[in-house]
Amino acid sequence: MSRPSTLPMLCAAALLGCGSGEEGDLPASEPGIATPADAAASDAMPADWIAVDDAARTVTIDLVAGETDANNRWNFNGYAAGEATVVVPAGYTVTVNFENRDPAHHHSVGVLARAASFPPYFDDTTPVFDGAITPNPTSMTESTAPGGGTASITFVASEAGEYALVCPVPANAVTGMWIGFEVSESGDSGLRR
Ligand SMILES: [Cu+2]
């Protein structure tokens, strides 16, 4: 399936690379773009990095940037471009313990509105839920540091819906550094792939 948006996205990434002097660091391949319909195709399954406590109504997510070299390390727990979706029950308090194991680049994570694609630059990084974004989220030098930097965020997933866990550092989300984030009315939890 070819998408008409591919060419403008590549141009945007290339322009950004020229401006920042880091063109060679951008991921070389164009990742596929998942849609909400793709994400809904399978059941959520347990994952060892998503701990759900139904009695306490909490979810603790150990989210790692660059854990694998997928998408040139611009991934969350090895997933990029919406190829997995974290599912949490509506009303639960969610803590994301974020660690950046990419050896080279700063990264961030925030719960933002789901979109078919994301821009190279974010004008507005107000998260969907209060507190649901790591510090200095668009900074290439002040967001969570490479080589093991950490940040922790806690928020209440107060409204059911389809959202995304996105890295708003320039050029990251547009080249695939995002996965789905679903707040389920039914109480489902885990990882949908
Ligand atoms: Cu990133």
Write down the pTM of the prediction.
0.79
Ligand 1: centre distance to CA 2 (Å): 25
Ligand 1: centre distance to CA 54 (Å): 31
Residue for token pair 């190829």 = 83
Residue for token pair 């050896």 = 103
Instruction: Tell me the two tokens of residue 124.
Output: 């507005």
Ligand 1: centre distance to CA 139 (Å): 10
Ligand 1: centre distance to CA 167 (Å): 5
Ligand 1: centre distance to CA 58 (Å): 26
Q: Which residue has the higher pLDDT, 87 or 26?
A: 87
Ligand 1: centre distance to CA 55 (Å): 33
Ligand 1: centre distance to CA 184 (Å): 26
Ligand 1: centre distance to CA 60 (Å): 21
pLDDT-derived band of residue 150, with 50, 70 and 90 as boundaries? very high
The separation between CA 82 and the C-alpha centre of its own chain, rounded to angstroms, equals 8
Instruction: Tell me the two tokens of residue 19.
Output: 């401006």
**49 near 62, Cβ under 8 Å?**
yes
Ligand 1: centre distance to CA 79 (Å): 12
Using alpha carbons, list the distances in angstroms from residue 153 to 36, 41, 103, 148, 171: 25, 29, 22, 16, 23
Q: Phi, psi at residue 23, to the nearest 5°?
A: -55, -40
Each residue's pLDDT tens digit, 36-58: 544 455 799 999 999 999 999 99
The separation between CA 76 and the C-alpha centre of its own chain, rounded to angstroms, equals 6
Ligand 1: centre distance to CA 155 (Å): 21
Per-residue model confidence (pLDDT) at position 116 = 86
Domains and CATH numbers, the chain: 6-192 (2.60.40.420)
Each residue's pLDDT tens digit, 76-101: 999 999 999 999 999 999 999 999 99
Assess whether pLDDT exceeds 80 at residue 6: no
Ligand 1: centre distance to CA 106 (Å): 6
Instruction: Tell me the two tokens of residue 11.
Output: 């141009």
Ligand 1: centre distance to CA 170 (Å): 8
Q: Are strands 85-89 and 178-184 parallel, antiparallel or unpaired?
A: parallel
